[in-house]
Amino acid sequence: MLLHWLLTSAIVIAVSWIVVIVLAKRLPPGLAKDLASVLPACITVTRTLRNDPRVPRRVKVVVAIAGLWVLSPIDLIPEFLPIIGPLDDIVVVALALRYAARRVPPEALVEAWPAERRILDRLAPATASITSTIGAN
């Protein structure tokens, strides 16, 4: 019974992630696409900043905790709710990214950010002044 429940939960979470990633790639430009692309972009930034020597250890710990939060099956908003399920993950990762933006050279964030730069500018305003100088999307 427990194994069945865990397997079902894992499948639901995987499907939710797939929906978010597909929406991030296929939606027309706008707020919905921005929201759908934030979480995959933040996960990429988390992986990249974890290995960047310019990032202080305290920031790496915060970023790692945010990454674990996203991967954790325990959520404030259950993942099986189609659109709002990932919202708590987005909020936690966005807060961690804002924390990192205050303590990491803005160039490191810009280099690690895979999505549109204007989204990063909203999450981490300190990067707004340099996004135009480093290959913006």
Residue 135 maps to a domain: no
CB of 123 within 8 A of CB of 98? yes
Average model confidence (pLDDT) across the chain: 76
Angle at 49 between CA 22 and CA 114, to 5 degrees: 35
pLDDT at 92 over 80: yes
Is 134 a domain residue?
no
Q: For residue 133, is pLDDT > 60?
A: no
Decide if 136 is inside a domain. Answer: no
- Asked if pLDDT for residue 81 goes beyond 80, the answer is no
Length of the chain: 137
Q: Give the integer Cα–Cα distance in Å for 76 and 110.
A: 30
Residue 135 has pLDDT above 50, yes or no: no
| pLDDT band of 94, cuts 50, 70, 90 | confident
Q: Is residue 39 part of a domain?
A: yes
Please determine, for residue 131, whether its predicted confidence score (pLDDT) is greater than 60.
no
Show the tokens assigned to 137.
């999307």
Q: Is 95 inside a domain boundary?
A: yes
pLDDT of amino acid 58: 92
The domain of 100 spans 2-127
In a domain, 41, yes or no: yes
Residue 84 host element (H or E): none
Q: What is the pLDDT of residue 79?
A: 66
CB 49 within 8 A of CB 60: yes
102 falls within a domain: yes
CA distance 42 to 114: 9
Domain count, the chain: 1
pLDDT at position 56, please?
Answer: 92
Residue 30 Rama label (left phi>0; alpha psi -120 to 50; beta): left
Residue 97 lies in a domain: yes
Residue 36 reports pLDDT greater than 70 = no
The pLDDT of 82-107, averaged and rounded, is 80
Cα separation of 16 and 104, whole Å?
31
